Chains A and B, each alone.
Chain A
Amino acid sequence: QKEVEQDPGPLSVPEGAIVSLNCTYSNSAFQYFMWYRQYSRKGPELLMYTYSSGNKEDGRFTAQVDKSSKYISLFIRDSQPSDSATYLCAMSAVSNYQLIWGAGTKLIIKP
């Protein structure tokens, strides 16, 4: 079993829909949770960063962490075709700063 599980998709939704992207993990020591967006042939871009549990909102993006369920989510409201990309979750423990990555979910927003 991988430490971080993420459905690779592709996930295809119509423009304007709410998108839900998720990752599950097995290591209860993880404290730092991040979501990255990667366009084709580009480096990942940090979207959201959350420490421990709770919600964080930034514009159309909301990140949620449920440590009791070992489950994190990224919601995108009013999705746009420009949101089409691969979204990767990453996490690390407090004492170990190595990032553990999900496989990435390919998201397609249809105009």
Chain B
Amino acid sequence: GAVVSQHPSWVICKSGTSVKIECRSLDFQATTMFWYRQFPKQSLMLMATSNEGSKATYEQGVEKDKFLINHASLTLSTLTVTSAHPEDSSFYICSARTVLNTEAFFGQGTRLTVV
């Protein structure tokens, strides 16, 4: 299957700082990328849908000014958690779908801990 690379796999940051997470589709072009958040023992919660070259569409209740998403190319999307707080600590996962919008492939996830 296609490969989606997500970095970093884990990060610890101080409260008030910003953290950027990268998501790359290595061997295919992803017109659409998705960003999820997952709490322990819970399913994935969609945060936003990112289309290349346009603004991301955020799900209800997700602060767009706090979770900045940029999808500048067909192979790269970034999620920046701004002014992070301990309650932002979570597992963040990106996903990319192929041009045909069928199968979705996931990155390995980023565990963010805000101290």
Residues on A facing B (Cβ under 8 Å): 32, 34, 36, 41-46, 49, 51, 88, 90, 97-99, 101-104
Chain B contact residues, majority secondary structure: strand
* Docked-complex contact A41 and B104, CB < 8 angstroms: no
Interchain CB contact under 8 A, B43 and A43 = no
In the complex, the number of residue pairs spanning A and B with C-beta atoms less than 8 Å apart equals 48
A99–B102 Cα distance when bound, in Å, is 10
Asked if B44 lies at the interface with its beta carbon under 8 angstroms from chain A, I say: yes
Residues of A within 8 A of B101 (CB): 97
CB distance B43 to A88 under 8 Å? yes
- 28 A-B residue pairs with CB within 8 Å: A32-B102, A34-B103, A34-B104, A36-B106, A41-B109, A42-B108, A43-B93, A43-B106, A43-B108, A43-B109, A44-B106, A45-B106, A46-B105, A49-B103, A88-B43, A97-B97, A97-B101, A98-B34, A98-B49, A99-B46, A99-B95, A99-B104, A101-B43, A101-B46, A102-B43, A103-B42, A103-B43, A104-B43
CB within 8 Å for A43 and B6 given contacts A97-B32, A98-B46, A101-B44: yes
Closest CB-CB distance, A32 to chain B, in whole Å? 6
Q: From A100, which residue of chain B is reached at the shortest CB distance?
A: B46
* Range class of the B interface residue count: 20 to 34
Interface of B with A (CB < 8 Å)? 1, 4, 6, 32, 34, 42-44, 46, 49, 91, 93, 95, 97, 101-109, 111
Q: Whole-angstrom distance between the alpha carbons of A109 and B25 in the complex?
A: 33
A46 touches B109 (CB 8 A): no
